[in-house]
Structure 1
Amino acid sequence: MLLRNYINSLLIVITLIFSSVLTAQNIDFNNGKKYTIGDIVVTGDTNFSPQTVVAYSGLTKGETIIIPGEEISNAIKKLWNTNLFSSIDIYLTKVVQDSAYLEINLIDLPELNDVKIQGVKKSKIDAIKKENKLDKGAKVTENLITTTRNYLTNKYKKEGYLNTKVTVNTTAVTDSIQKSRVNMLVYIDKGDKVKIDEINFIGNDKLSDKKLRKAMKNTKQKNPIRILKRSKFIRADFKEDLVSVIDKYKENGYRDARIITDTIIINDIGTINLDIKLEEGEQYKFGKITFVGNSVYTDQYLHSILRIKEGATYNGVELRKRIADDTKPDAIDLTNLYQNNGYLFSTINPVEVSADGNVIDMEIRISEGKPAYFNTVSVTGNDKTNDHVIYRELRTKPGQLYSKSNVIRTIRELGQLGFFDAQQLTPNIKNPNPNEGTVDIEYQVVERGSSQIELQGGYGGGGFIGTLGLSFSNFAIKDLFKKEAYKPIPMGDGQNLALRLQASRFFQTYSFSFAEPWLGGKRPTQLSTSISHTKQFLYNPQTRNADKSRRFNITGISFGLAKRLREPDDYFTLSQAVSFQHYNLKNYNTGLFTFGNGFSNNLSYTVGLSRNNLYTDPIFPEGGSSFSVSAKLSLPYSVFNDTDYKALKDERDSLDPTVAADFARIGEIDQERYKWLEFYKVKFKGDWYTRIVDKLILKSGLEFGFLGAYNNDRGVIPFERFFLGGDGLGNYSLDGREVIQLRGYPNQSLSSQDGGTIYNKFSLELRYPITLGAQAKIYGLTFIEGGASYDEFRDYNPFTLSRSAGFGIRIFMPAFGLLGIDFGHGFDALPGETQKNGWETHFIIGQQF
């Protein structure tokens, strides 16, 4: 009997040990024997209390179990699943009658004490620790080590480091703490980036190697003259480019083209070759294309949208785009045709019904479904901006027929407000109900700072210049006298308010402006007003200071209305403004005017037509265009003021300005000529944004301006002129001048001393974003541009330009606006010089080009 019990106990222990090693296998428990657990003890190298361990195991004292059996196996599994132990054994220590006494022997997994990462920049270490969860106190499992090694190896291989090797070593920590702890050393050997020496295609007769390589947008072979795309190998990009190669064949009618193999050949010089073996197949053409299931639109109309004719070379890529172009949300395709007219639940599927003689007949099968109507329209995320400011911009209303184009337009309008992060504007379609024909939509917005502070100081014009500017683009003037609304200022009604003070020893400028974009609250009609006052003091060369008894003051006020039009489309805006400036000179004799005492008045009317359909983000538009044409007109005073300006002109021409008496008389004549300014001014500006690839954007621009006179005897006024060159920033404007930016040349250096009456400018700029985050938008740019300024129209030649090229960077932060720096190289000489201008550095504040 004793011998039999001993043998049984020995067999149970052997079985338990065996089961602890093979816990993942299925074991036949039919031959076990029932026991009552007499006691459970916990041994081994563990810091967990016995009660905790037993609780983890699921075994309890007094429980009836089968040994060997499923209960012991499950206990071991539960302990393994905690990921707390490196070794788990359960022993049957003794059997007393029907009672079994168990021992759970454990060894804790070591905890991570410290991690050192070598082989990468210090700035990358924290991110690596976070990505791999290498936190102090983490349990160091074999899985953690393996996962870390594999993650880092794959990470750098994706970046072109194909020879990356990662080693992970652990060493035990010996100290007074009882816990098992280890230090980890992760060494990353990235090696050199693997460059592609050659990309070879095998089996291509129909399309040339050059054409196929061009189709691969991201994977390029070595070329010393290529700048934008380098020849590094990244596997994910390569796989994507293989799809582009097949798409190129499909565009040319070879719908059966396929890649048989793609092989990487490692060269001795540390580069690789890519061999791509192809099977081109036969070229196909489109046969008959018929529409099935359409009742809303006729076959003829659908064919006009599809724009594919029978007999054309088969192009599977273009066919897919004509049905649904995923790259352009506002594309002219069949899906948008239906979805822009309410058929949200429509489906369109092209089906090949015949391919005889390499001619493919197709059916475009359409399931139109019910028209969908908006049930509820809501906005979330606006904590500062009042609901009515957002809802008045929405093109989607409850009960309105669903239109995808209206959803896209709404996103654009919300982005153009400037109150929200344009990159995070999201329309969420909710609760679509094809049976009822209803759908809900929620616009999710993320607010960003819409107020800007300008506080700067600098040296210029012979002295220190200080500027304080406050700009609030989401102001609420109705809450101006509500104490609780100041957080820190009244906000939320979408109004614009700006204050600006600028001063130095030689001038002072004060300005205030206010704009209400929805006058009356029913239509987008903007009311704007501004008031400004400038004081200019004459420089005293003896004291090198300002003589405040000799001054030139300008006081101005303007009122404007801008109304969004419905025709030709509602991207157009008609604006009108009336402005008045009073110029007052007191003992202010300079070369700018022939009279030192006197005044001039400028009462003018400005009318402008503009169209702006730029894409959502106003800081970094990725498409669209904007243009404006305007005319600024004064009254033709010479028609009705009975002044003989020809006689005055003849008298002025007969005088000698070097004779004091004659010069004084010239001043009197000019005071009479410029008492009320008479002129007309026409300007045009257009900008177009085109996506080249990814987020590489080409901005092309054109500008033109002309200042003319109604009466040639009265002449063109010395005010309102154009000054070309430099960064385009004007600290102050004494005479209504317009400063036109043209980088690569000093400020205002490309116009004559009195300014030009006509100018033109052409520009091309490539932009690519570094980040478009909510806190800061940063993008780099390169540019080429040219322009010229002319004193008279007879000198105008649009092809005689001062040319420049360069590069720069822009940083937009909500609190400070747009900041940047440009380095421009002027290829032509300044007026009066013979050597090209060369490099200029321009600091950009608050401008967008």
Structure 2
Amino acid sequence: MLKPRFIPKTVAAAALTAHGLVAHATTPFVVGDIRIEGLQRVESGTAFAYLPIHVGDTFTDQMASDAIRALYATGFFDDVQIATEGNIVIVRVVERPAVGTIDFSGLHEFDKDNLTKALRAVGLSPGRYYDKALAAKAEQELKRQYLTRGYYAAEVTATVTPIDRDRVSLLFSVDEGPSAKIRQINFIGNKAFSDSTLLDEMQQATPNWFSWYTKSDLYAKDKLTSDLENLRAYYLNHGYLEFSIDSTQVSISPDKKDMYLTLSLHEGEPYTISGVHLAGNLLSREAELGSLLQIKRGERFSAEKLQATTRALVDKLGEYGYAFATVNAQPQIDQQGHTVDLTLVVDPSRRVYVRRINIVGNTRTRDEVVRREMRQLESSWFDSNRLALSKDRINRLGYFTDVDVTTVPVEDTADQVDINVKVAEKPTGAITLGAGFSSTDKVILSAGVSQDNVFGTGTSLSVNVNTAKTYRTLTVTQVDPYFTVDGIKRITDVYYRTQQPLYYSTDSSFKIVTVGGDLKFGIPFSEVDTVYFGAGLEQNQIDVDSATPQSYIDYVNQFGRVSNNVPITVGWARDARDSALVPSRGYFTQANAEFGTPAGGTQYYKADVQAQYYYSFARGFVLGFNLQGGYGSGLGGKPYPIFKNYYAGGIGSVRGYEPSSLGPRDASTGDPVGGSKMVVGNVELTFPLPGTGYDRTLRVFTFLDAGNVWGNEGNSVGANGLRYGYGVGLAWISPIGPLKLSLGFPLTKHSGDQYQKFQFQLGTAF
């Protein structure tokens, strides 16, 4: 019987050194059995699968060396030895410890979860086998993460601590150090455009007041690559076809706190278009396709306009079913005269129809909610215009952070495609808050909770509460956007309102309590037009006392303290804005008429109109206009119900004045009583916050507001003419909704007016 002899892994690494081979050579024999000893977590079947020795093989020293290499290469073992006893091969292993926990210390810039994901990407996570080389690789990955945010002095040290069950705990101690700021950006060779103009095209910048928010002063290689592409695009859009970036130098100060960028540019000369031609298969539509050209002879070359022209031609061909149309621009450049002659070669390829539309990514939202917004139908010719409209409609649902629509050819066919609509869902619940602060320490609060996609059905449900002393409300609204398969919308409202206009008369018990509900149906007449019809039922109770304005006392004396109302409504709305959240172009209009029927005891009509228009006249600058008005009157010889009066003033109306304080006031008490006629106009100029580039989520605005409320003279005074307010504000698309802060000042002051300078509102537009 041979004594057991072990061949260590170090011998295998050297392919069995001469000493081991000569002194301990094994006489070849046929393997009768194989035993593996030392396994704890690794399954024996797994180990045998990697082992290149099998029963019946002729065992040699070379075979032992190969076996050690194979087992060690798995990464499961710290030590591998092979022994023989007669015709039995014994494999003894020492498993590597497993990673039990991974923790961090010293983190400030990064979230722990983000770094954990980064380590998982390089193969280090709890449950994996511990490897010193992998731990070192993890240290380098963490340093790389800090480099992307400008922390060039960051140091990472890994500490390994053995714990129970043959596991280790890893602690990565981070010394972040200071972040490197971009102190200077220099351009060399730019003559056509100033340094400031070129800096506006870059994401990275030197420190300014808002760097804490934008992080634009932190150097990052990927940001620099993007900035270089932005500069190249800017020059190409202005005709500089010979533009190039000759060199990019990045230097860092010895203390690793300051970065210096130097960009060497070659501008060349601007090129003019000497001709534009269409060629290829134009499908006998030369005139139609020619009308889409956005570049003309004699103009300066613009890569942006060329791309827009190419895209317009491809989209137009796509409307006729040519899903794979291409347009290639072939330029003929005259370097002497600095001109370029463009030939656009059109290849419509083949006409196809849509076989199937696949919806993916909607784990919560039902398929039908997405499919009913599709204007491109299955088994019909492909239409790029309808497909783009479908994508826009899905985006406007507000249920998804991203909507990606792709066209995939069907295998083994020449005229079919599938449409894949991939969506990424987002939380559809929202909380809205609003508040105002007056010089008399009055606080006005409002709140709302809404869910726009209840149980994934597309139905919305919201609850809104207003706690203002003058106007307290509780409203529950349910909207079913597809009450019928034709897209008829149903809106159900139930509300409770308490109105107490005497907010600066603490001893008065005067208030108006309204309880009711209504049901409306919206019928779409086009992609942007909807007509509304509805009816409601409400009860108004007016509580008066000695301090109540005389107009309310007179109304109660004539019609009683309780008034029932059965209103019917007719309305129309058109929304042609590019975005409901941050519009930059387009318009929104709506009109609504309400009639009080004799069935309720009150007879009246009121008409409300609103129009908004947005115009972007420069990059990042948006001019917005809002005009709304209301008019009401009694019918059948009855007066207009006083509880239907309009009010104006405050945020959402005329800023700089107390909410609902404008218009007629009671002759004896001086309290605002509202009126039957109202006009409000707003003009806002919105532009990026200086130092933030063209970030649309953080903007500054200036405004000019005008408006007032009028009513019957009777026992009221003080309506006069329009009131004007002006001011500045800040708009921020915060994680919990759009926030507006405004500082308003009245332009005209009249006796009895109430002013309010600072206001903010969360979850609002104008």
Compute the TM-score of the two structures, normalised by the length of structure 2: 0.74
Correspondent of 2:74 among 82, 89, 99:
82
- Structure possessing the higher radius of gyration over alpha carbons: 1
Q: Are residues 53 and 470 of structure 1, via their aligned partners in 2, closer, same or farther at CA, if it must alter by over 3 Å?
A: closer
What are the Cα deviations for residues 71-111 of structure 1, in whole angstroms up to 9, with x where unaligned? Answer: 456423421332112445668x79x9xx7x86756554333
1:440 corresponds to 2:421: no
Alignment of 1:98-117 (within 5 A): 106-117=93-104
After TM superposition, give the deviation of residue 278 of structure 1 in Å.
2.4
Q: May I ask how many residue pairs the two structures share in their alignment? A: 713
Work out which structure has the larger RCO, using CA pairs closer than 8 Å and 6 or more positions apart in sequence: 2
After TM superposition, give the deviation of residue 249 of structure 1 in Å.
2.1
After TM superposition, give the deviation of residue 526 of structure 1 in Å.
4.2
What are the Cα deviations for residues 539-566 of structure 1, in whole angstroms up to 9, with x where unaligned? Answer: 9x9997969xxx8665767665543234
What SS does structure 1 have at the residue aligned with 2:291?
A: helix
Match of 1:18 in 2: 14
Correspondent of 2:351 among 371, 376, 379:
371
Correspondent of 1:305 among 269, 283, 292:
292
Match of 2:743 in 1: 825
CA distance in 2, matches of 1:579, 1:105: 85
Q: Are residues 564 and 201 of structure 1, via their aligned partners in 2, closer, same or farther at CA, if it must alter by over 3 Å?
A: same
1:760 corresponds to 2:681: yes
1:254 corresponds to 2:240: yes
What are the Cα deviations for residues 302-346 of structure 1, in whole angstroms up to 9, with x where unaligned? Answer: 33312212233233343233313xxxxxxxx22222223321021
After TM superposition, give the deviation of residue 701 of structure 1 in Å.
5.0
After TM superposition, give the deviation of residue 238 of structure 1 in Å.
0.7
CA contact (8 A) 2:331 2:341 kept: yes
What are the Cα deviations for residues 508-543 of structure 1, in whole angstroms up to 9, with x where unaligned? Answer: 988787766557644x4446576767688999x999
What SS does structure 2 have at the residue aligned with 1:724?
A: coil
CA distance in 2, matches of 1:822, 1:45: 65
CA contact (8 A) 1:287 1:310 kept: yes
Q: Are residues 394 and 791 of structure 1, via their aligned partners in 2, closer, same or farther at CA, if it must alter by over 3 Å?
A: closer
Unmatched 5+ stretches in structure 1: 1-8, 23-31, 325-332, 457-464, 476-486, 638-674, 728-739, 769-777, 813-817
Alignment of 1:561-640 (within 5 A): 562-566=522-526, 570-576=527-533, 590-591=548-549, 592-595=551-554, 596-599=556-559, 608-614=571-577, 620=581, 625-630=586-591, 632=593
CA distance in 1, matches of 2:727, 2:494: 37
Q: Are residues 593 and 152 of structure 1, via their aligned partners in 2, closer, same or farther at CA, if it must alter by over 3 Å?
A: same
What SS does structure 1 have at the residue aligned with 2:15?
A: helix
CA contact (8 A) 1:744 1:805 kept: no
1:221 corresponds to 2:206: yes
Percent of paired sites with the same residue: 20
CA contact (8 A) 2:33 2:89 kept: yes
Match of 2:187 in 1: 201
Correspondent of 1:273 among 260, 263, 288:
260
After TM superposition, give the deviation of residue 471 of structure 1 in Å.
7.7
CA distance in 2, matches of 1:759, 1:298: 49
CA distance in 2, matches of 1:502, 1:277: 59
Match of 1:150 in 2: 140
CA contact (8 A) 1:17 1:90 kept: no
CA distance in 1, matches of 2:700, 2:608: 30
1:64 corresponds to 2:32: no
After TM superposition, give the deviation of residue 364 of structure 1 in Å.
1.7
CA distance in 1, matches of 2:656, 2:629: 21
CA distance in 1, matches of 2:209, 2:464: 51
Q: Are residues 821 and 295 of structure 1, via their aligned partners in 2, closer, same or farther at CA, if it must alter by over 3 Å?
A: closer
What SS does structure 2 have at the residue aligned with 1:131?
A: helix
After TM superposition, give the deviation of residue 501 of structure 1 in Å.
10
CA distance in 2, matches of 1:219, 1:537: 53
What are the Cα deviations for residues 162-214 of structure 1, in whole angstroms up to 9, with x where unaligned? Answer: 2322222435x3x8x684x5443322222212111221122333433333222
Q: Which amino acid aligns with 1:441?
A: I
CA distance in 1, matches of 2:428, 2:103: 43
CA distance in 2, matches of 1:46, 1:828: 80
What SS does structure 1 have at the residue aligned with 2:330?
A: strand
CA contact (8 A) 1:20 1:89 kept: no
Match of 2:647 in 1: 723
CA contact (8 A) 1:828 1:835 kept: no
CA distance in 1, matches of 2:430, 2:14: 72
After TM superposition, give the deviation of residue 585 of structure 1 in Å.
5.5
Q: Are residues 754 and 224 of structure 1, via their aligned partners in 2, closer, same or farther at CA, if it must alter by over 3 Å?
A: same
Deviates more, 1:307-316 or 1:387-396: 387-396
Match of 1:296 in 2: 283
Q: Are residues 82 and 62 of structure 1, via their aligned partners in 2, closer, same or farther at CA, if it must alter by over 3 Å?
A: same
CA distance in 2, matches of 1:225, 1:387: 43
What SS does structure 1 have at the residue aligned with 2:222?
A: helix
What are the Cα deviations for residues 635-679 of structure 1, in whole angstroms up to 9, with x where unaligned? Answer: 999xxxxxxxxxxxxxxxxxxxxxxxxxxxxxxxxxxxxx96666
CA distance in 1, matches of 2:179, 2:621: 28
Match of 1:683 in 2: 609
CA contact (8 A) 2:656 2:725 kept: no
Alignment of 1:474-623 (within 5 A): 492=457, 517=481, 521-522=485-486, 524-526=487-489, 560=520, 562-566=522-526, 570-576=527-533, 590-591=548-549, 592-595=551-554, 596-599=556-559, 608-614=571-577, 620=581
What SS does structure 1 have at the residue aligned with 2:647?
A: strand
CA distance in 2, matches of 1:702, 1:274: 45
CA distance in 1, matches of 2:7, 2:593: 105
Q: Are residues 255 and 89 of structure 1, via their aligned partners in 2, closer, same or farther at CA, if it must alter by over 3 Å?
A: farther
What are the Cα deviations for residues 129-183 of structure 1, in whole angstroms up to 9, with x where unaligned? Answer: 3431454453221331122112111111111212322222435x3x8x684x544
CA distance in 2, matches of 1:717, 1:629: 24
What SS does structure 1 have at the residue aligned with 2:292?
A: helix
CA distance in 2, matches of 1:21, 1:288: 77
Compute the TM-score of the two structures, normalised by the length of structure 1: 0.68
CA contact (8 A) 2:732 2:740 kept: yes
Q: Which amino acid aligns with 2:74?
A: T
Alignment of 1:124-135 (within 5 A): 124-133=111-120, 134-135=124-125
Q: Which amino acid aligns with 1:302?
A: L
Unmatched 5+ stretches in structure 2: 19-25, 435-443, 665-671, 690-695, 712-718
Q: Are residues 152 and 572 of structure 1, via their aligned partners in 2, closer, same or farther at CA, if it must alter by over 3 Å?
A: same
CA distance in 2, matches of 1:834, 1:536: 20
Match of 1:26 in 2: none
Match of 2:388 in 1: 408
Match of 1:484 in 2: none
Q: Which amino acid aligns with 2:357?
A: V
CA contact (8 A) 1:342 1:373 kept: yes
What are the Cα deviations for residues 274-304 of structure 1, in whole angstroms up to 9, with x where unaligned? Answer: 1112233444333333222223254443333
1:787 corresponds to 2:705: yes
What SS does structure 1 have at the residue aligned with 2:150?
A: coil
After TM superposition, give the deviation of residue 593 of structure 1 in Å.
2.2
Q: Are residues 294 and 107 of structure 1, via their aligned partners in 2, closer, same or farther at CA, if it must alter by over 3 Å?
A: same
What SS does structure 1 have at the residue aligned with 2:301?
A: coil
